[in-house]
Amino acid sequence: MTLNLKQKNSDLIKTEAKRLGFLSCGISKADFLEEEAPRLEKWLNKNMHGEMGYMENHFDKRLDPRKLVEGSKSVISLLLNYYPEETQREDAYKISKYAYGQDYHHIIKNKLRQLQEFITEEIGEVNGRAFVDSAPVLDKAWAAKSGLGWIGKNSNLLTQQVGSFYFIAELIVDIELEYDHAVTDHCGTCTACLDACPTQAIVEPYVVDGSKCISYFTIELKNELPNEMKGSFDDWMFGCDVCQDVCPWNRFSKSHNEPLFNPHPELLSMSKKDWEEITLEVFQKVFKKSAVKRTKFSGLTRNIEFLK
């Protein structure tokens, strides 16, 4: 494919991504992630994935999209903003902002499907697969490789323009496109995220021990919560945003414009007492299509009990 055609197709894809509401779009060559391989291996060997056994599966596919999608040549990375206009009241048990509205998997999958259809209509028969946090794909690594930001000391993707409150998704396709370049790291000497983490899960700059993270305890861990962690969850009952909330780059976060990410009104008005008395009926109403359903009513009430 000629350079001009690759550039033209890349521009078409990025323009359509913008039209569909994505914050930004970057493209990189589908190749082996050389730098990430030893990092991932070391992280797994140190058991920093805790009981998330699935992290050990498909090691090769995680590092090489060509093993995941046959014939793939390009990884199209996309960001979708979820920063809310309003947050929960001060005297409430907290849930991560990404879970305020409807489950992002369905919303983003739908947008990716539209983007795929557009590519087929405009460029021709292009084969590929869409991924939203649901397969062995190192989302942040691909987004960084595609120039959408850098991976910060809290291991989140950061951008100077909009911080880090966004979802990352990919389309892995079998055509060559014009590739973007990684941007430089702008964390500098800042250690705000390391200093603020309630459970010291950020064990060193750029390394998060997943098995110590509040998100892991409140979402992934299915057994009883460990007693030694009592009093260190900082009122988080589902996920945790501390390392993002304190990041200086997030002062540039702007609220999203996706109505489906807006929370149920009751979510923002509930106090600690309301959460402690939550019924299954209220849970089903407030979190009707939310990612909070992952932890189920029993999981959420277990977490609230632990915080009391």
- For 123, the token pair is 């460029």
234 as an active site residue: the answer is no
Mean pLDDT confidence for 295-307 = 96
Q: Around Cβ 26, how many Cβ atoms within 10 Å?
A: 25
Interval 158-214: pLDDT, tens = 999 999 999 999 999 999 999 999 999 999 999 999 999 999 999 999 999 999 999
The residues facing 130 across adjacent strands are 171
Does this model's pTM top 0.75? My answer is: yes
Interval 21-74: pLDDT, tens = 999 999 999 999 988 888 878 887 887 777 766 666 667 888 899 999 999 999
Q: What is the percent of the chain with per-residue pLDDT over 70, rounded to a whole number?
A: 97
The residues facing 77 across adjacent strands are 26, 170
Give the start-to-end residue ranges of the domains of the chain.
3-173
pLDDT of residue 3: 64
Q: Which of 31, 133, 234, 274 is catalytic?
A: 133
DSSP 3-state percent helix, strand, coil across the chain (nearest 5): 45, 15, 45
User: How many Cα atoms within 13 Å fall on the side-chain side of residue 299?
Assistant: 19
Nearest to 94 by CA among 221, 213, 238, 225: 238
